[in-house]
A and B are shown apart, each in its own frame.
Chain A
């Protein structure tokens, strides 16, 4: 059995533009003649990806970035326009809603059909049917036509079928978003067990919580191309930071019209520039530095903050609070420069934010942020390591 489960090479997908019936006729002529479509809409471009057995990969990206298209290509529902897909194992896929259910049939009939589609014999199905029905947990609805189901019930049933088959590769597209809390927990628990048992997972989700909980690696798709592939924390950080910047740019346009009096350059963390998240050891030193341009030469107020990946603020402080005044260099440029010795936050993913305000500390002019990964192994709870001492022990414990 090969370790490699999925390999895509230079994978690309274009959709034809077919709004009018004349377009379809032209497309038909092109396909029969074997010619390429000149004005097809490219949704996925040059995706090269290897997934090994036992890996769990979260696929993230904005709406329309090509996540679902990629999953459909791997599942075999779509045919690539360019490149190749190899899958060395059986695939259980839950693509968007429905899982290919027939609306007029009862849940039970649909389970039978889905099982047949996945190559299960009647006897195997009979053995698994009670488990499937128990997992779906939709009560008497199992004998009602699927058209009477809520979207949550459809997903319950779909997941129950896929779960009972325990495929080599499980592909789910925004499945957790539809189910209620208890079903989400059930799915997550099932997926964790499945992964622990050596299963391989491709998960599309907009919930970074689920991605980080279930996946070791993440693939970030941006406008149909791979923007990043690697450790889940680094990639989700970079993705969230990109989102923040995007919404900040939207806001900035308005500020720029009003005249940006103060603006921030990119943040250096421990001397490293760039956009990738910086990484420090738990309890290490963090040095944050960024240039500030003051249009009128007035002295700005800088504020630095640290927030956890889920948005929980950890700490924030400004020059004004600390009674510090920034000093300009010869070019009239200010520099926000602050160091944290022995940063006590627990291991995890964080965002460092810098803000620049006017001298009165009233108006916020610019914001920059960088991802920060705090490395380390720890079973402690919470955000930060508080200095403490247990009285009951002989040894003087620390942490």
Chain B
């Protein structure tokens, strides 16, 4: 009984569970980020009159879409996976199973839903003539792979720690909000004072926000060197998360 064999069952269960009881079913997966997008567009475009620097700058809405959807996948995966071990206490106490699959399921489900939403809205924007480089979409989707690895690494560590530190689930929501505002999701690097621009690279999500835009909007350059660094960071996060999870896994049942 291994993770790979069980994962499809748990991911399917997670997907069903997430939208069970809601009227729109899976539609909600698309609706929720759309609503979010509407709110942010209103605030930034209508109220703050946000303008992107540069002569070839895209419109603000495509700019936001391309950065916000990957972020939604990343943060939703982490937020949901953090409590996954605690939520499955009943199962853990009754059935012997590889517990990492309980963390994998919400992560994978979040990415699948948000990637589907991403494809839909990017195609919609391209059809609406918003300057999307649609040919690059398959390449852009590959960026989700290291992003998922990064999120899963964080999720493993957080889910294991959550068993011992119950406040974590509350804290993580705020921490993710902070991380979002400290990455160029709503602004560009050029909007920051020159001294702070380099600090942006400390945030692992910065690379993804900038690279998605470079690929799909032609806004900024795509740097292969930074891609390698991002992949390395993702693998280190996974290794660290996996180490912590393995270390604490035998003791979950004692503290649930």
Interface residues of A (CB under 8 A from B): 15-16, 18, 21, 24-25, 27-28, 31-32, 72, 75-79, 91, 93, 95-96, 98-102, 104, 112-114, 116-119
Residues of A near B20 (CB, < 8 A) are: 104
Q: A25-B165, A117-B95 are in contact. List 9 more A-B contacts (CB 8 A).
A: A18-B255, A21-B166, A28-B161, A77-B92, A79-B251, A91-B96, A112-B9, A118-B1, A119-B1
Q: List 7 A-B contacts (CB under 8 A).
A: A18-B255, A28-B161, A28-B165, A93-B96, A100-B90, A104-B20, A114-B95
Interface residues of B (CB under 8 A from A): 1, 5-6, 9, 13, 17, 20, 90-97, 161, 164-167, 244, 247-248, 250-251, 253-255
Q: From A75, which residue of chain B is reached at the shortest CB distance?
A: B96
Interface contact B93-A31, CB-CB below 8 Å: no
Given A32-B247, A104-B17, decide whether A119 and B5 contact each other with a Cβ distance below 8 A.
yes
Interface contact A100-B94, CB-CB below 8 Å: yes
Most chain B CB within a 10 A radius of its CB, from A18, A104, A117: A117
Residues of B near A15 (CB, < 8 A) are: 254
Residues of A near B250 (CB, < 8 A) are: 79
Measured CA separation A116–B97 after assembly (Å): 11
Interface contact A24-B97, CB-CB below 8 Å: no
Smallest Cβ distance from B162 to chain A, in angstroms? 11
5 closest A-B pairs by CB: A79-B250, A100-B94, A76-B96, A28-B164, A100-B95
Measured CA separation A27–B254 after assembly (Å): 11
Q: From A101, which residue of chain B is reached at the shortest CB distance?
A: B90
Most chain B CB within a 10 A radius of its CB, from A112, A113, A118: A113
Given A77-B94, A95-B93, A98-B90, decide whether A117 and B164 contact each other with a Cβ distance below 8 A.
no
Interface contact A27-B94, CB-CB below 8 Å: no
Q: From B167, which residue of chain A is reached at the shortest CB distance?
A: A21
Give the residue of A16, A31, A99 whose beta carbon is less than 8 angstroms from that of B248. A31
Interface contact A77-B253, CB-CB below 8 Å: yes
Measured CA separation A204–B165 after assembly (Å): 34
Interface contact A27-B255, CB-CB below 8 Å: yes
Given A77-B94, A98-B90, A117-B6, decide whether A24 and B251 contact each other with a Cβ distance below 8 A.
no
Residues of A near B90 (CB, < 8 A) are: 98, 100-102
Most chain A CB within a 10 A radius of its CB, from B1, B5, B6, B255: B255
Interface contact A24-B93, CB-CB below 8 Å: no
Give the residue of A24, A78, A96, A119 whose beta carbon is less than 8 angstroms from that of B255. A24
Interface contact B1-A95, CB-CB below 8 Å: no
Measured CA separation A99–B91 after assembly (Å): 8
Smallest Cβ distance from A158 to chain B, in angstroms? 9
Q: From B244, which residue of chain A is reached at the shortest CB distance?
A: A32
Q: From B97, which residue of chain A is reached at the shortest CB distance?
A: A117
Smallest Cβ distance from A302 to chain B, in angstroms? 52
Smallest Cβ distance from A212 to chain B, in angstroms? 28
Smallest Cβ distance from A38 to chain B, in angstroms? 15
Residues of B near A112 (CB, < 8 A) are: 9
Measured CA separation A79–B250 after assembly (Å): 5
Interface contact B96-A77, CB-CB below 8 Å: yes
Residues of A near B167 (CB, < 8 A) are: 21
Measured CA separation A91–B251 after assembly (Å): 21
Measured CA separation A101–B88 after assembly (Å): 10
Q: From B2, which residue of chain A is reached at the shortest CB distance?
A: A119
Measured CA separation A95–B244 after assembly (Å): 28
Measured CA separation A102–B94 after assembly (Å): 11
Smallest Cβ distance from A232 to chain B, in angstroms? 27
Measured CA separation A72–B92 after assembly (Å): 11
Residues of A near B92 (CB, < 8 A) are: 77
Interface contact B93-A77, CB-CB below 8 Å: yes
Give the residue of A25, A100, A118 whose beta carbon is less than 8 angstroms from that of B91. A100
Smallest Cβ distance from B173 to chain A, in angstroms? 19
Q: From A14, which residue of chain B is reached at the shortest CB distance?
A: B254
Smallest Cβ distance from B154 to chain A, in angstroms? 17
Residues of A near B248 (CB, < 8 A) are: 28, 31-32
Residues of B near A21 (CB, < 8 A) are: 165-167
Given A100-B90, A117-B1, A119-B5, decide whether A24 and B96 contact each other with a Cβ distance below 8 A.
no
Smallest Cβ distance from A194 to chain B, in angstroms? 20
Measured CA separation A112–B6 after assembly (Å): 12
Measured CA separation A99–B94 after assembly (Å): 6
Residues of B near A93 (CB, < 8 A) are: 94-96
Residues of B near A18 (CB, < 8 A) are: 254-255
Measured CA separation A320–B17 after assembly (Å): 75
Smallest Cβ distance from A20 to chain B, in angstroms? 11
Measured CA separation A28–B166 after assembly (Å): 12
Residues of A near B96 (CB, < 8 A) are: 75-77, 91, 93
Measured CA separation A117–B93 after assembly (Å): 14
Smallest Cβ distance from B72 to chain A, in angstroms? 25
Most chain B CB within a 10 A radius of its CB, from A21, A78, A101: A78
